[in-house]
Amino acid sequence: MNKLVSAGNTIDVIKKHDFTFRKRFGQNFLIDEHVLEKIVQAADITGDDYVIEIGPGIGSMTQYLCEKAGKVTAVEIDRDLIPILNETLGDYDNVTVINDDILKVDIAGLIEKENKGKPAKVVANLPYYITTPIVMTLLEDHLPISSITVMVQKEVAQRMQAEPGSKDYGALSLAVKYYSDPHIVANVPPNCFIPRPKVGSAVINLIVYDAPVINVKDEKLMFKLIRAAFNQRRKTLVNSISNSGDLGFSKQEITDALNAMNLPETIRGEALSPEQFAALSDRLIF
């Protein structure tokens, strides 16, 4: 089977099957071999690995994954792509294609069935319209996943990797850093895709921690505090958290907690590290 990655091959396959791109599914297919190699290399896949690919498209990256991994499951929402995938992946006996929305798939059940519950690696050129919900589901659900290597919008990759105090730092950076160690591995220009997206892209590799490296007594409360802090980003933490009615903390309680942490009461959420949000959360429940 010829590799599909070139623009010519991709167009041939699309024409042959009379396939129409669907914008609502975020369909921008990769046509650059070097970028595909870089993604697969960053994911560090060996013959022992079970890989879940989200949104295989016509299967260009899936082919690379099948060559490297022990087993691959590719989850594709667009049923018009299934006959194409059956053809382009026909030479591989280590791949299963599932026609479903990744947000509706029982991922823990899938990993249990296909890999006896041992950690999977997730690799994807993600549809940009649902990048954050997908990445957050993979992280928050405490699934057996050891790494997530994904192409996302460049700005989203920068937010995931951002440090406290920077303009890109926010709830997404904190969540990603709480669960994983993120590294941007490549910036990818629009001309590497058909059709070309309007924005730049980047590949980011998240090495998911086996166990949390930050201890917090009530993870849910910490994330509620983080959301409250960044919903009103320009306000001080004391104001943004006390304004959030459902949390029920008074200005005095928040000020006392910050004082006990040697932080000024004028501080904003954007200045706090993940460890400091965890410490604030622990102080507020006692």
Please pick, from the candidates 40, 43, 52, 56, the single residue that binds ligand SAM as defined by CB under 6 A.
Answer: 56
107: how many CB neighbours lie within 10 A of its CB? Answer: 21
Please enumerate in sequence order all residues whose Cβ is within 8 A of that of 256, keeping only pairs 6 or more positions apart, or say none.
Answer: none
* Binding of residue 274 to ligand SAM (CB under 6 A): no
From CA 104, how far away is CA 127, in angstroms rounded? 15
The beta strands (E) that lie in the chain are given as: 29-30, 50-54, 71-76, 95-99, 120-125, 145-153, 180-188, 193-194, 201-208
**Closest distance to ligand SAM from the beta carbon of 258 (Å):** 40
8 Å CB contact between 149 and 123: yes
* Binding of residue 49 to ligand SAM (CB under 6 A): no
Report the residue number, 43 or 254, with the smaller CB distance to ligand SAM.
43
**Interstrand relation of 201-208 and 145-153 (parallel, antiparallel or unpaired):** antiparallel
From CA 173, how far away is CA 49, in angstroms rounded? 27
* Binding of residue 204 to ligand SAM (CB under 6 A): no
Site for ligand SAM in 140-199 (CB under 6 A): none
Which segment (71-79, 112-120, 135-143, 179-187) binds ligand SAM by CB under 6 A?
Answer: 71-79
* Binding of residue 123 to ligand SAM (CB under 6 A): no
Please pick, from the candidates 63, 73, 115, 125, the single residue that binds ligand SAM as defined by CB under 6 A.
Answer: 125
Please pick, from the candidates 75, 120, 138, 279, the single residue that binds ligand SAM as defined by CB under 6 A.
Answer: 75
Please pick, from the candidates 12, 37, 91, 101, the single residue that binds ligand SAM as defined by CB under 6 A.
Answer: 101
**Closest distance to ligand SAM from the beta carbon of 174 (Å):** 25
Report the residue number, 193 or 230, with the smaller CB distance to ligand SAM.
193
Question: How far, CA to CA in Å, does 67 sit from each of 49, 71, 186?
Answer: 11, 9, 22
**Closest distance to ligand SAM from the beta carbon of 233 (Å):** 29
From CA 117, how far away is CA 122, in angstroms rounded? 14
Q: Kindly report the length of the chain.
A: 286
* Binding of residue 55 to ligand SAM (CB under 6 A): yes
DSSP string spanning 100-160?
Answer: S-GGGS-HHHHHHHHHTTPPEEEEEE--GGGHHHHHHHHHHTT-SEEEEEEEEEHHHHHHH
Please pick, from the candidates 12, 86, 90, 103, the single residue that binds ligand SAM as defined by CB under 6 A.
Answer: 103
* Binding of residue 269 to ligand SAM (CB under 6 A): no
* Binding of residue 201 to ligand SAM (CB under 6 A): no
- Positive or negative torsion for Cα 187, 85, 147, 167: positive
From CA 57, how far away is CA 61, in angstroms rounded? 9
* Binding of residue 127 to ligand SAM (CB under 6 A): yes
Report the residue number, 69 or 81, with the smaller CB distance to ligand SAM.
81
* Binding of residue 52 to ligand SAM (CB under 6 A): no
* Binding of residue 39 to ligand SAM (CB under 6 A): no
**Residue nearest ligand SAM (C-beta atom):** 55
Name the nearest CA neighbour of 262 among 283, 234, 241: 283
Contact residues for ligand SAM, defined by CB under 6 A: 25-30, 54-57, 60-61, 75-78, 81, 101-103, 125, 127, 130
